[in-house]
Amino acid sequence: MKFFWLNFHLPYACRHSGLCCTSGWPIPVEHARVSAIDESIARDVIPLTVLPWLATGSNMPEDVAGILALRDNRHCVFFEAGRPGCAIHGVKPASCAHFPFVCLFDQRGVHVTLSHYCPTSTALLFEHTGPIAIVEGPSPLPDVTMLEGLDASEALPPTAAADKPRLMSWDEVSEWERDRVLNAKIDELQNDDVAWFDRARASVPAPLSWPEAPDHLESIWFAMVAPAWPHFEDVLSRYAAAKAFASWSLYLGEGVAAAADTARIAAAVLRIECARQCRVFGRPLDRELLSNAIEQSDLLLVHYADPETLARPEAGPNNTA
C-alpha cells in the first residue's frame, strides 16, 4: 500500500499542545483499550480528579465501551496542565490516535492530509521552506492496521469538469491533483465570499452551528487584513494545497468540480475567519492571528461540517428532498 503526503506535512509529530484534549469532544473508547488504560493508570500512578474515567451509556456502538470522562472545564480527564500532554498517549483510543490525520483511500493508495485545527499542523505551514510537492511516505499510524477515513478504494475514478462529464483515468486524476496542489493559492477578499462561507455554515448539522460573517467585512479586510496578506503568500499557498489534496469531495460530489468548489469554500472561510480574528483582537493580521484563523477554519471545515453536504449542498442535513 502506497501512502501519499504533501511534503510540508510529512514531518508531523505530536508536540502535545493539548488542544485536542481540551476541546470537549466526546471520545469513544474501544473495549480493547479499557484494560490497557487501566494498566497504564496503575503503573504510572496517573492523578485522576474525575472517577470513573470512563463514561458509559445505553446507546453505545457494540465496539465502544464508553467515552472518556471530562472535567468541569471540558478537558479530558487524562490531560494535565503542566504535564507533557496526554497521560495515556501510548494507549489512547483510536479517535485520539487518528487526530489530526485525514485519509482518503482510492485505487492509487492512501492520501494523507492533516486537520489544521491542530496547532502543530498549522505550525508546519509556516515552518516549511521550498516548493510544494506530493511525496510518498509512511503510514501515519504504522501500528494501526485499519486506518479511518473515506474509503473510495472500490470506487470508479472521479468525473472530469462539468463541461466534460466523463470518468477520468487514474493518471488524469493524479495529474489534476498535482496541478491543483502546485498552483494552489488564496487570493484576497472576493465579492461572493459570504455566499461561499454560508455554504460551509449550512453544512453544519444541528445542534452544532457556526457564527455568521462579521459585520463590515470589507472595511475590516482592507484596514486590518489586506496590508499583511501578501507577506503570508507561501503559508496561504500551503493551506490551499492542503484543501486541494486528498479531497473527499472528489468522491462524495461530482468529481473535480465538487473538489474545486470545496477548495473555493475553504478560501472564503479562511478570509472571513482572518477578518474575524482581527476584529476580535483589534489589531492587524499577524502570524498569531493567521494561525488562529487557520485553526478555526479547519474546525469548521473538517470537524463541524458534514463532508457530503460540502460536496453536494442538496444532501444537506436539513434537506429532506
233-250 pLDDT, tens digit per residue, is: 999 999 999 999 999 999
Q: What is the pLDDT of residues 255-312, one digit of tens each?
A: 999 999 999 999 999 999 999 999 999 999 999 999 999 999 999 999 999 999 999 9
Query: By three-state DSSP, how is residue 29 classified?
Result: strand
What's the pLDDT at 46? 63
Output the pLDDT for position 157: 95
Half-sphere exposure of 13 (CA within 13 A, CB side): 2
CA 119 – CA 295 distance, rounded (Å): 7
How many angstroms separate the Cα of 186 from the Cα of each of 12, 133, 218, 268, 299? 23, 17, 17, 9, 19
This prediction has a pTM of 0.92
**Packing angle between helix 119-127 and helix 287-298, nearest 10 degrees?**
130
What integer pLDDT is reported at residue 207 of this predicted model? 93
Confidence (pLDDT) at 81: 59
Q: What would you report as the CA-atom Rg of the chain, rounded to the nearest whole angstrom? A: 20
pLDDT digit string (tens) for 123-140?
Answer: 999 999 999 999 999 999
Q: At what angle do helices 119-127 and 233-244 cross, to 10 degrees?
A: 120
Q: What percent of the chain has pLDDT over 90?
A: 71
Q: Cα separation of 19 and 291, whole Å?
A: 13
pLDDT at 82: 58
Indicate the angle between helix axes 255-281 and 287-298, nearest 10 degrees.
Answer: 130
Ranges of the chain with pLDDT below 50 = 320-321
pLDDT value for 71: 85
* 103: β partners: 112
- Nearest-angstrom CA–CA distance, 213 and 215: 7
Which stretches of 88-194 are assigned E, i.e. beta strand?
A: 101-106, 109-114, 134-137, 150-151
Beta strands in 52-122 (DSSP E): 54-55, 64-68, 101-106, 109-114
pLDDT at position 202, please? Answer: 96
